[in-house]
Amino acid sequence: MDLSIIIPMYNHEKYVKQCLDSILENLNPRIEVIVVDDASTDKSLKIVQQIKKDYPALKIIKNENNMGCAASLNVGIEAAKGKYIGINSSDDYVDKDYYNKLLELALKEGADVVCANMATFNENSSEVNYGDIYKDNIVLHEDSESPKEPHQVEADILLGHWTASSGSTKIILKELYVRYPFSGNNASDLSTIYPILAASKKIFFYPNLYKYYRETVNSVSRVFNIDSNKSVIDSISLTLDLLGCEEFDPKYKLILFTNNSLAYLYCKVLKVENIFDRSECLKYFYDNVVSGNKEFISTVKHSEYLKRCIMINHIDQIGEEIIDFVFEGEIQEAVLMIESEKENKLLSQIEHLETEKEILLQETENLQNHISAMTNSRSWRITAPLRRKKRG
């Protein structure tokens, strides 16, 4: 078997058929597909079992309990017979002959990794945005052009783009996945894909081939909670440790920190509305990432990657203050800034309520004066018997 495609699935009854249809059509018989059902509670499993009737080679593994995506991927990889491993989320779909083309290139070139492009599909608007790893890439100049044909690339070109850490755009030698298994929960790709790419000797990029990432409102990656964000931070910390080994070029650790860590702080943590949640995430990041890497982080501030990160993510003044907090290690200043922001919001709310109170009091007084003036008027007294008669 040349390639095993692992599809971790949990409650994707709306999408899994489109996912499998896009993969199974004209699929090379040297490619196997393994769906790992992570104890779904909807009709996902029944839909896959129905599809299996037409594709007997489709394999289904059922987890007895919900284990999470990382554990499900490891289960699928252990069962895989392919030389290469591909990963596909059960709510995403691919171009026609996507895996056939990736495998053909991998076998022809003897590649460790073959990477495709990623497009985002908005299920509400049906809008598709086609990505390009040569654009918004922290290791490349803004005017860099992507060759139109498949070509060999260095690991840093892939790692310099926001899609770098995703295993779903790549097929990778199984032996590399065995060396760097998935771990954690959210952002579980980081500690696997970064060291795999850093360790790979031969990487190819297929520019005109797309994986379609579905943007959904209730996607796990889009729903904020403290535990999921702490899991992301744990993955960043673990990956920094892995990339700190002597076998890896130090630039990969720099790329991870600027392309993932700082972008995560700015694009995710600073967007958290609840001030207490935001403060907790910042402190957790400091305690688990910054405090143990101060010597390394001091070198990031003078990196060209940082300048590109700030420009690509349009990081504003508040974002730069957070970055300064990371570099200078002044956690107390960051907390004070957050507490000050919280205090200002509370004062603003109190001021607004006081203003509304004054307006209501004034309106009440005006109404009372109007009623008093009306009931004391001569016309009101004269017409009083008529109003009583009408009510009677």
For residues 238 and 203, state if they share a domain.
no
| pLDDT (average), residues 182-193 | 81
Structural domain that includes position 378: 347-391
| Cα(253)–Cα(191) distance, integer angstroms | 12
For residues 210 and 241, state if they share a domain.
no
| Cα(286)–Cα(277) distance, integer angstroms | 14
Angle subtended by helix axes 226-243 and 190-199, to nearest 10: 20
For residues 163 and 275, state if they share a domain.
no
pLDDT, residue 323, reads: 67
pLDDT, residue 390, reads: 53
Q: Which helix (H) or strand (E) holds 145?
A: none
In a domain? residue 42: yes
Q: What is the pLDDT of residues 285-310, one digit of tens each?
A: 888 888 888 788 878 878 888 888 88
- What's the CA angle centered on 145, arms 200 and 116, to 5 degrees? 45
In a domain? residue 335: no
| Cα(187)–Cα(38) distance, integer angstroms | 18
Contact indicator for 235, 191 with CB cutoff of 8 Å: yes
| pLDDT (average), residues 26-47 | 96
For residues 260 and 358, state if they share a domain.
no
More confident residue, 131 or 150: 150
**CA 379 to each of CA 366, 373, 390, 391: distance values in angstroms, whole numbers, following the listed order:** 21, 11, 17, 18
Tell which of 171, 197, 223 closes a domain. Answer: 223
Say whether 226 sits in a helix, a strand or coil. Answer: helix
More confident residue, 346 or 125: 125
The CATH number of whichever domain residue 219 belongs to comes to 3.90.550.10
The residue assigned the tokens 């200078």 is: 328
In 3D space, the residue among 84, 78, 169 whose CA is nearest the CA of residue 119 turns out to be: 169
DSSP 346-364: HHHHHHHHHHHHHHHHHHH
In a domain? residue 103: yes
Q: Which range has the worst mean pLDDT, 37-41, 96-100, 168-172, 351-355?
A: 351-355
Say whether 36 sits in a helix, a strand or coil. Answer: strand
| Cα(137)–Cα(152) distance, integer angstroms | 17
| Cα(388)–Cα(340) distance, integer angstroms | 61
For residues 190 and 319, state if they share a domain.
no
| Cα(129)–Cα(118) distance, integer angstroms | 9
| pLDDT (average), residues 35-39 | 96
For residues 98 and 37, state if they share a domain.
yes
In a domain? residue 155: yes
First CA to last CA across the chain, in angstroms?
96
For residues 24 and 56, state if they share a domain.
yes
| Cα(136)–Cα(205) distance, integer angstroms | 16
What φ, ψ does residue 174 adopt, rounded to 5°?
-60, -35
Contact indicator for 198, 243 with CB cutoff of 8 Å: yes
Tell which of 223, 239, 272 closes a domain. Answer: 223
Q: Which range has the worst mean pLDDT, 41-50, 101-110, 161-170, 171-180?
A: 161-170
For residues 202 and 309, state if they share a domain.
no
In a domain? residue 339: no
| Cα(209)–Cα(328) distance, integer angstroms | 43
In 3D space, the residue among 200, 184, 302 whose CA is nearest the CA of residue 241 turns out to be: 184
pLDDT, residue 113, reads: 98
For residues 180 and 245, state if they share a domain.
no
Question: What's the distance, CA 53 to chain centroid?
Answer: 34
| Cα(59)–Cα(182) distance, integer angstroms | 21
The residue assigned the tokens 């307006």 is: 359
Q: What is the pLDDT of residues 157-176, one digit of tens each?
A: 999 998 878 899 999 999 99
Q: Which pair of structure tokens corresponds to residue 307? A: 């300048």
Say whether 176 sits in a helix, a strand or coil. Answer: helix
For residues 260 and 113, state if they share a domain.
no
Most confident of 190-199, 276-285, 343-352: 190-199
In a domain? residue 341: no
Work out the mean pLDDT of the chain and round it to a whole number. Answer: 85
In a domain? residue 197: yes
Tell which of 296, 329, 362 closes a domain. Answer: 329
Burial class (CB in 10 A: 0-12, 13-18, 19+), 137: buried
For residues 40 and 150, state if they share a domain.
yes
Split into its structural domains, the chain has a count of 3
Say whether 389 sits in a helix, a strand or coil. Answer: helix
In a domain? residue 342: no
User: Per-residue pLDDT for 331 more than 70?
Assistant: no
For residues 368 and 305, state if they share a domain.
no
